[in-house]
Amino acid sequence: MCGRFTIIATYDLIVYRFNIKKSSLQFEYHQSFNVAPGQQILTVINDGKENRAGFLKWGLIPSWAKDPKIGYRMINARAESVATKPSFRTAFKKHRCLIVADSFYEWTHDNLKNKRPFRFKLKNDDLFAMAGLWESWKSPEGQIIHSCTIITTEANEIMIPVHNRMPVILRREDEQKWINPGSASSEQLSLLKPYDSNEMEAYEVSKDVNLPKNNDPHLIQKI
């Protein structure tokens, strides 16, 4: 699964890297060393003409949901069922997005009393995009919540010692294919695979990352 990640790049770098139309969002963007479910996270969509950045609540709320609290159980979607599961299939067809990150955390599950957090990133420290889906939900009172989920797949070799799942990290050349609007196809499904472990590295970090309120540079330091 994917339950925490970091985004510490500057907004200008993000705009350049993902070819985003620059907007006033730069004044809303803040670095985070500990992005957690329920927070507003930076995402990229394509409106048919250009790439646009926006903030979506992490935890997808399907348009048909009666209670927005369902989003807390929808922070991840499995690649194997994303095209068929009722909670995600509409978003897969119409609302695909990129979730911008520069690393993510995962915890060992070998000892539930002493779970150890690890940071996973690209060896070259580049930004990357996780494959995501988004939806808009409207309450009976008219409140609108825009939300998203991160798609996960089976673990690659570097992940296996820690966890059996990982977020789908898209290859740079596949990012635009993922967010191009229109009907989803087998081409999009083929992108949902483990990232090359030879291009990644991992190391153990402080257990302070366990608490979302902790959010400063020491969280990404190797211990």
Residue 71: give the domain boundaries: 4-220
pTM comes to 0.95
Q: Report the mean per-residue pLDDT for the chain.
A: 93
Is the CA virtual torsion 7, 194, 95, 20 positive or negative? positive
Where b means 16+ CB within 10 Å and e means fewer, 198-210 reads eebebeebeeebe
For residue 66, give the nearest of 171, 159, 168, 140 by alpha carbon. 140
The answer, yes or no, to whether residue 51 has pLDDT greater than 90, is yes
Q: Say yes or no to pLDDT of 21 above 90.
A: no
pLDDT tens for each residue of 80-133: 999 999 999 999 999 999 999 999 999 997 666 788 999 999 999 999 999 999
- C-alpha span between 168 and 38 (Å, rounded): 20
Of residues 97, 106, 135, 148, which has the active-site annotation?
A: 106
Q: For 120-165, what is each residue's pLDDT tens digit?
A: 999 999 999 999 999 999 988 888 999 999 999 999 999 999 999 9
Burial (CB < 10 A; 0-12, 13-18, 19+), residue 116, is middle
Residue 70 φ then ψ, to 5°? -60, -25
For residue 171, pLDDT over 90 is answered with yes
User: Which one is catalytic: 2, 97, 135, 148?
Assistant: 2
The yes-or-no answer on residue 50 being catalytic is no
The structure tokens listed for 145 are 């919540």
CATH number, residue 59: 3.90.1680.10
Count of structural domains, the chain: 1
| Tokens linked to 61 | 């709320």
Q: Is 2 a catalytic residue?
A: yes
